[in-house]
Amino acid sequence: MKIKKGLTSIIMTMYDQTQTSRHVSMTAVSAITRYTDPKDYELILVDCCPKYPFRDDYHVLKVDKFIEKKVPDIGYYKAMNLGASKASGEYLCFIENDVFVSDNWLHNLRWCLENKRMDAVLPHQIPNTYKQTLEFYTMDADGAVNKAATEQGLVMMTRDAFDKIGGWDKKLKVGYGWKRFYQQLGENNLVLGNTAKCMITHITGMTYYDSMELDPEKFKLNSKIEGEYLNG
């Protein structure tokens, strides 16, 4: 696939087993559309085990590639790798479907990669006061590096870094892939950092908790297998 220099491929996976979670996914996409210059990105959606239509009632959402994977569920991390295999961007952004971005998010994350501050970058995503928000806004880009409070749910990286780590660990399916991702970066001497210039809102664990409640036995088994593999 021909790589387009300067383009970011945003990859979002969905496993919406309730109407509420489907609406959260649609809202997450609407935030990307609202706050991102369309020339700067392509959006790839990977819809696993779809039950409900993905609606664009106002005909404004920018979705460039829509991939449906019907049952059985291939799992979150394989789905992200599938999305990456269809991406044409120089940069890859993996975003969960319960993450809501805000203004200038893409530009501020990209700055860290384009200026070689790190190979993969995370945004600020824990609650903070209005005063702290103003402080983040007034920081310069260098001053904001590694000043964020992070967790998981959104990461942007160079395509070279993604290829070097071999993508998301295909042996994981449910809950431990982000932890393994951080390990993979370290094992390959790649720099993971963050920036306070990008603030996101993350519901956190929407699909994880839905899976736990809707099929608890399957969830427990998958978690046990993955925990043994990761700590093995």
Q: For the chain, which domains are there? A: 4-231 (3.90.550.10)
Which residues fall within 8 angstroms of residue 101, CB to CB, at 6 or more apart? 31, 32, 35, 36, 95, 154, 198, 200
Q: What percent of the chain has pLDDT over 70?
A: 88
User: In this model, does residue 189 exceed pLDDT 70?
Assistant: yes
Question: What distances in angstroms separate CA 103 from CA 65, 169, 195, 197, 230, one per listed residue?
Answer: 23, 31, 14, 10, 36
Q: Per-residue pLDDT tens for 122-170?
A: 999 999 999 999 999 999 999 999 999 999 999 999 999 999 999 999 8
Report the predicted TM-score, pTM, of the whole model to 2 decimal places.
0.91
Query: How many Å is the Cα radius of gyration of the chain?
Result: 17
Q: Is 13 helix (H, G, I), strand (E, B) or coil?
A: strand
C-alpha span between 137 and 20 (Å, rounded): 32
At 184, list the tokens. Answer: 């993979």
Q: Which among 202, 161, 196 is positioned nearest to 182, based on CA atoms?
A: 161
Q: Per-residue pLDDT tens for 64-95?
A: 999 999 999 999 999 999 999 999 999 999 99
User: Which amino acid type is present at position 80?
Assistant: M
Reported as a pLDDT band with limits 50, 70 and 90, residue 8 is: very high
